[in-house]
């Protein structure tokens, strides 16, 4: 793996931990729940010859700060952190890719600051508003955690805190085809370390509370808007969303210039198929590198 530099930045009232490596146009990679920036380690060496790759821990995750409130865990607040981080690093425009919650932050960032992303990749999500407003019993069963984690405190925090490893490992196995053997042992150790950070369980619950109480309403106000920069939708060929929905179709009226591609694996295909993930990201963002 390419050696990266682990750093911290005080931005937007938060402490954001991040790794940075490589040369070329900036490419910001955002992880999801219940992971951390270690997700991207296997793809770094496949991207850093062409891009300066920045992989932060979102607020509420990993080694970044842990806000207390629901509102502080909204996708808009997380996106503001990322804009401030890129300002701190001296990058006005940048390439952007996110998986899971990181993809939702990426979508919100592209709507709130359309002049900043050169191109954006959204990995294995359907739009937040669509998921919550078209929630069939099959979707609710597959993505039950959205509604469990959003229950009032301290109910989910108490249950998760009783046996965090069992709960979080179930998350890794429950959102599409996956086994623990699909996860690199070093990365799995980093995920476990991230889960154990003080405040992480609460912040993760608040992330999902905010999705319903805050982000849904932000997205409802923007239903008539589209992301105008080139957008790539990647999804796990064997994931829950691919099984239950036509993932590209859910984005058709939200992305002006969309490409879509299935990647082998389930929801956590960046862990299961890091080379295929990196190759798809590399090809798409290199194609648009001149746009910035």
Q: Tell me which residues are annotated as active site.
A: 100, 267
Q: How far is CA 249 from the centre of its chain?
A: 20
51-78-8 Cα angle (round to 5): 60
β 26-30/94-99 pair status: parallel
- How far apart, in whole angstroms, are the C-alpha atoms of residue 45 and residue 281? 13
Between CA 292 and CA 115 the distance in angstroms is: 10
Strand pairing report for 227-236 and 52-56: unpaired
| Contact (Cβ atoms closer than 8 angstroms) between residue 101 and residue 33 | yes
Cis ω before 154 (30° cut-off from 0): yes
User: Residue 194: what are its φ and ψ, rounded to 5°?
Assistant: -65, -40
- Residue 94 sits at the vertex; the CA angle it makes with 93 and 100, to the nearest 5 degrees, is 135
Rounded CA gap, 232 and 229, in Å? Answer: 10
Start-to-end CA distance of the chain, whole Å, equals 28
Cβ(207)–Cβ(146) under 8 Å?
Answer: no
What's the rounded Cα separation, in Å, for the pair 37 and 25? 19
């Amino acid at each position: 793996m390419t050696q990266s530099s682990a750093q911290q930045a005080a931005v937007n009232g938060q402490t954001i931990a991040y790794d940075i490596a490589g040369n070329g146009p900036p490419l910001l990679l955002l992880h999801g729940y219940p992971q951390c920036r270690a997700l991207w380690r296997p793809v770094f060496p496949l991207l850093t010859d062409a891009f300066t790759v920045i992989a932060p821990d979102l607020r509420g995750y990993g080694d970044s700060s842990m806000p207390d409130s629901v509102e502080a865990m909204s996708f808009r607040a997380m996106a503001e952190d990322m804009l401030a981080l890129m300002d701190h690093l001296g990058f006005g425009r940048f390439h952007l890719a996110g998986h899971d919650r990181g993809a939702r932050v990426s979508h919100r960032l592209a709507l709130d600051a359309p002049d900043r992303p050169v191109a954006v990749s959204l990995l294995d999500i359907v739009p937040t508003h669509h998921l919550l407003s078209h929630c069939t019993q099959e979707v609710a069963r597959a993505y039950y955690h959205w509604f469990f984690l959003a229950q009032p405190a301290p109910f989910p925090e108490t249950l998760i805190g009783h046996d965090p490893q069992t709960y979080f490992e179930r998350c890794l196995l429950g959102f599409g085809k996956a086994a623990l053997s699909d996860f690199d042992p070093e990365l799995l150790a980093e995920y476990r370390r991230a889960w154990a950070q003080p405040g992480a369980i609460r912040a993760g619950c608040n992330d999902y509370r905010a999705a319903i109480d805050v982000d849904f309403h932000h997205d409802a106000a923007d239903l008539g808007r589209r992301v105008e920069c080139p957008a790539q939708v990647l999804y796990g060929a064997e994931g829950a969303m691919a099984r239950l929905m036509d993932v590209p179709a859910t984005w058709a009226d939200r992305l002006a210039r969309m490409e879509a591609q299935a990647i082998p694996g389930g929801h956590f295909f960046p862990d299961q198929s890091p080379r295929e993930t990196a190759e798809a990201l590399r090809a798409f963002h290199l194609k648009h590198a001149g746009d910035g």
